[in-house]
Amino acid sequence: MKPSFFKRRRRPAFTIVELLVVMAIIVLMAGLALPNMQMVTLKAQSTICAENLHGIGVAVLSDATDNNGILPEINQAAAPVYPSTVPGIVGVLGNYGVTTNTIQCPVDMGQGAGSSFKLYGSSYEWDPVLDDGTDPVTSLPMGPVNVTVNASRIRICTDFNSIHNGKKNALYGDGHTRAR
């Protein structure tokens, strides 16, 4: 007779029914998590957009500090306001760290050929206005005109379209961003 340590112990195995039940539970949980993953992805992209706007805000404040508190003149392809010699956002704020990547909203880039970046060269609309929380807003004079306004009320730059759950991310004069 063989010693007991030579005896083979039989390990319990999964039955096919148990395996199918476990697989069904995993599929069910994945199905429940998928819509949440899409929402998380959109929220992450919206956060990146807000960070891009914040970076533009830091550059604008730096430029204004270097120019006696005057906001820079920036042209945009969608509606040029200044003479054609005035460059766009990257041209004006490039020395302060604004790059082509900074002016691309990830949600806008997902719009394909209809994205604002592809149409206008920027996902963001440069249009400094006084934002009192109601529409319409009053245009803010640019250049050497002195206006005393709380910087948190000056909306400097926004998304072109309402692509963040029906809202636009906006940059304000004091550097904060928010969806509106």
How far is the C-alpha of 79 from the C-alpha of 166, rounded, in Å?
23
Q: Model confidence over 124-165: pLDDT tens digits?
A: 988 888 776 654 444 555 556 555 667 778 888 899 888 888
Tell me the H-state helices in 67-164.
89-93, 106-109, 116-120
Domain boundaries along the sequence of the chain = 15-179
What's the order of all strands across the beta sheet hosting 138-139?
A: 138-139, 124-130, 154-159, 169-172, 177-179
Q: What is the mean pLDDT of the chain?
A: 81
pTM for the whole thing?
A: 0.72
Give the 3-state secondary structure of residue 147: coil
